Structure 1
């Protein structure tokens, strides 16, 4: 009998992979399912990006292997984007690495810096992939609490009391998914100092900084950040290009080059046309972001109305692609979401998907048309 690797005993299939099969089965049975669970942008990418992609299909360079580091002009445009929107100076030659989606960056960074038995600081609640990747590499997730009473920010005194021996990486993610909370200047200064004090690589996962957020921030704008920090970013949410799989890793040369040593052994470069289209997206003016957010503002207000109908409370100043809502006290998260799916054929995400501190909360996605959200409200 051929057995799978022992590392698979430590991880389960991704929640949405399993749950969407269940949702698809319900649809096949004729249930009129409304999906407000997953953050897959339903709006169109910038038209110039799509047109450039199509044009490149006829380019003689398009179907060849591409550079592991991406096109020089793509890296240059990422650098320009960071300067224009975050006021961060990056060398396009040494401090920028395009990725096939930032999710692969989580694996590549982990492979570059973690040995068996090392530890990783993971936010609770937070993106489940941080912990899953650590387990796959036989490292140990060490969860740190984020709670509503602290505005979903870490307690650094509690962090200092933890056993930080063999901790190599700390994952942070602001604007935070799933809660939508932002971090202030004081937080970034503290987390950089924490990383320097304990020789911990701080990785900021930053895909939501332009969604319903007036002041996009990169951790790399802060003093000493490049000494201990990397940042992941993505075109998925900012430019409605989730299916294109385009992200980037930015930071100092030593860290980025270590990740490139992993990445260059894992793929053979990003498709030429996708890189060219991504360049056009990155050139979008502020009008693009204003237009995008005007759509999400309308949807957000309707999701608030839906949350009220379900007797949930929420924070009105949250950013990002979701509404994080607190349940009535008598409900558990999964019990509540299963009830909503069964009674109203509406799929929303239980907060426990993101960690134990998500118990008592649910997450609504803004990736649905206004008429679809109105239909969900009508059902309640």
Structure 2
């Protein structure tokens, strides 16, 4: 009965993989197993103290509990623009080219619903974040996957893309999740040129640009105001604020205005104290990023030890908060190997196939667990060997 009431726009869109897997893990824990979750990119480290202080102070403002602007308070837009100027070396107009979001995942849906019509063609990376394809399908668009593989260092094959016609929008994500491939000025300039040549809207999803990277790169660095390019960013990973839901869209002002039209019909603004906290986060010095990266490096070393113990390998230079790991040829496909790790060691690592067919021989570790967890994982594996 309920299935017959479901909207057609949900056809072909299943429950998010991690939502389903967390239910299974919960049942295993209820049965007395202590499952170690190494799969979710939800930072366990705390935000800066300045963020917590700003949140508390913001609660005392006279209009803290009132509706706020759909565009966020001006000080937040200005803080985002200043952040981009400082770390990405590019200038953004805070009133026309910056739109704060209640998390960047919201932005993926807003972009899709604002800019796509039924049967529009959308390029989605394979492997890539599943939400790009899901949001495009919900908007009624036709998803065309473009292949990223280790032979090409997980970069787009522009010779293949040149052959495509009538594509409206292309999702890119550098630094790339799940493979950890970094972005570069050369890559982003090529994408901007591709957008100009083909008239395609290109959106770069850029939440991992501060985690274990040597420099910050942006699709917007060399664009003109009229170029059909947008960039999503977020404080979830860079400032350990995943549950606070703070992100932004920046780029082409006309596209931003179109997205705002949709957004203004979806929410009633963000909680002002959270926006005050976000401003404090954006004003943190470079030492903040150095501090969290120091911890992630230690964790990454533990993951590399685990990768060796389970007879897997790392095939490319990686940045970000995940470790993309290739399964040995003597092992099974990714889903079976991930199930084996869960059954044998009670550790959860998602199979790469969650992110697309090109991930069928990979698993992905998240660095969002503290050192005792990694040591326990190593002990469990060694005890079984």
Task: Tell whether the structures are fold-level matches, with TM greater than 0.5.
Answer: yes
Counterpart Cα distance in 2 of 1:161 and 1:251: 27
Contact 1:220 1:226 in 2 (8 A): no
Secondary structure of the residue aligned to 1:98 is strand
Counterpart Cα distance in 2 of 1:306 and 1:137: 41
Q: What is the match of residue 328 of structure 2? A: 328
Deviation at 1:184, TM superposition (A): 2.9
Counterpart Cα distance in 1 of 2:201 and 2:329: 38
**Aligned ranges for residues 60-139 of structure 1 at < 5 Å?**
60-139=62-141
Cα RMSD between the aligned structures? 1.1
1:227 aligns to 2:233 (yes or no): no
Counterpart Cα distance in 1 of 2:276 and 2:144: 39
Contact 2:37 2:349 in 1 (8 A): yes
Deviations 1:178-218 (A, max 9, x none): 00011333221221111111111000000000000011111
1:252 aligns to 2:252 (yes or no): yes
Deviation at 1:105, TM superposition (A): 0.3
Deviations 1:143-185 (A, max 9, x none): 00000000000110011123x22x2110000000000011333
Q: What is the match of residue 181 of structure 1? A: 181
Deviations 1:302-331 (A, max 9, x none): 001011111110147311010000001132
Q: What is the match of residue 266 of structure 1? A: 266
Counterpart Cα distance in 1 of 2:290 and 2:64: 33
Which runs of no fewer than 5 residues in structure 2 stay unpaired?
Answer: none
Contact 1:226 1:251 in 2 (8 A): no
Counterpart Cα distance in 2 of 1:176 and 1:128: 13
Q: What is the match of residue 350 of structure 1? A: 351
**How many aligned positions are there?**
378
Equivalent in 25, 43, 46 of residue 23 of structure 1: 25
Which runs of no fewer than 5 residues in structure 1 stay unpaired?
Answer: none
Counterpart Cα distance in 2 of 1:145 and 1:315: 17
Deviation at 1:223, TM superposition (A): 4.1
Deviation at 1:241, TM superposition (A): 0.1
Q: What is the match of residue 209 of structure 2? A: 209
1:144 aligns to 2:146 (yes or no): yes
Deviation at 1:21, TM superposition (A): 0.5
Runs of 4+ in 1 over 2 A off after TM superposition: 183-186, 223-226
Counterpart Cα distance in 2 of 1:328 and 1:199: 42
| TM score, norm. by length of structure 2 | 0.96
